[in-house]
Amino acid sequence: MSKISFSNSQALSGGGTTENPWKVLQQFTQARIGLGRAGVSIPTKELLEFQLSHAQAKDAVHQPLDIDKLQQDLEQLESTLLPKTVEVVQSRASDRFIYLQRPDLGRRLSKDSKTYIEEHYSGNQDMVCDLAIAVVDGLSSKAIETNTLPFLQALLDLMANETQQDWTLAPITIVKQGRVAIGDEIGELFNAKTVLVLVGERPGLSSPDSLGLYLTWNPHIGLTDAFRNCISNIRPEGLNYKEAAKRALFLLQESRRLKLSGVNLKDRSDEKVIEHSSDTGNFLVNTLDK
């Protein structure tokens, strides 16, 4: 039997893999487009890469966050704004299985964790801070392990260089088996004016390591997602750390100035704002001269 080789011309005549003309668009996206086909199926190479991505997404959900290493790394962050103490707390979901089955339990602190923060911080009437930062494992420990430190360092550097406003920060909190809304309870217990939640996002098949940010003014138990601002897909292949930190700082500044967050607070960090100085008091947001 003669050896069969698959050339593109043969493939087009039905002898093997057929290239897809849409493949040229792959340079613009990580989405699975233009994969070609082998007979009536996708090529083996593409199938194996799909299975690898699926496995990586599952690992991101189930792999436990290395709490001890993250705590040590956070304590080494270089910033005059940040207390060196890093607290570790637990949601009401006692393990990963319960966490996945009961999202409501991931939104509240366990009784022991709540009592600990109350005893060490909430009783101090002098402790009123501008910002509490909660690092939450969420649905991707990989996202937290990869992106938390470089993003926070970029944000803290920007905040420290601000000349118009001073910031006081509560100790960073690491939350095990947590979801976004748990930041409301943490912010309330720390008497924080604003809470910023860093959470591992639900993994996609091309992005198992996306970090998400949620900002809430006046955090307290019972708020809905309408009261939060979100910055998503922070990772080297997505929104880079410097740009994410710039957007986060803009939202923090505007939230403190306007005393609100969520649907009433728009991210205009990439717009040029011109304040009119005449007596008419008019102003405009200029988006035309980019």
In a domain, residue 238? The reply is yes
pLDDT for the residue 13: 52
User: Does residue 11 surpass a pLDDT of 60?
Assistant: no
128 is in an annotated binding site: no
* 62: amino acid identity, one letter: H
Mean pLDDT of 187-204: 94
In a domain, residue 173? The reply is yes
pLDDT for the residue 267: 76
Average of per-residue pLDDT values in the chain: 86
CATH number, domain at 86? Answer: 3.40.50.11240
pLDDT for the residue 38: 85
User: Does residue 269 surpass a pLDDT of 80?
Assistant: no
Beta strands in 125-169 (DSSP E): 129-136
In a domain, residue 144? The reply is yes
**Domain span at residue 131?**
65-258
Confidence bin at 125 (pLDDT 50/70/90): low
Confidence bin at 128 (pLDDT 50/70/90): confident
pLDDT for the residue 176: 96
129 is in an annotated binding site: no
Q: Give pLDDT tens digits for 129-175.
A: 899 999 999 999 999 999 999 999 999 999 988 877 788 999 999 99
Confidence bin at 15 (pLDDT 50/70/90): low
Task: Report whether 87 contacts 174 (CB < 8 A).
Answer: yes
In a domain, residue 91? The reply is yes
Q: What's the pTM value of the predicted model, to 2 decimals?
A: 0.81
Q: Give pLDDT tens digits for 23-57.
A: 888 888 878 888 888 888 888 998 999 999 999 89
- Distance (Å, whole) CA 175 – CA 89: 5
Residue 243 in tokens: 């740009």
Distances (CA, A) of 89 to 2, 3, 39, 93, 274: 66, 63, 54, 11, 44
Q: Give pLDDT tens digits for 214-242.
A: 999 999 999 999 999 999 999 998 999 99
Counted domains in the chain = 1
Short-list 215, 247, 216, 251, CA closest to 234:
247
188 is in an annotated binding site: no
The per-residue DSSP string of 164-201 comes to S----BPPEEEEET--TTHHHHHHHHTTEEEEEEEEEP
In a domain, residue 273? The reply is no
- Distance (Å, whole) CA 99 – CA 178: 8
Share of the chain above pLDDT 70, in %: 86
Short-list 245, 267, 270, CA closest to 157:
245
In a domain, residue 69? The reply is yes
In a domain, residue 269? The reply is no
Distances (CA, A) of 126 to 111, 117, 217, 264: 24, 15, 20, 30
In a domain, residue 282? The reply is no
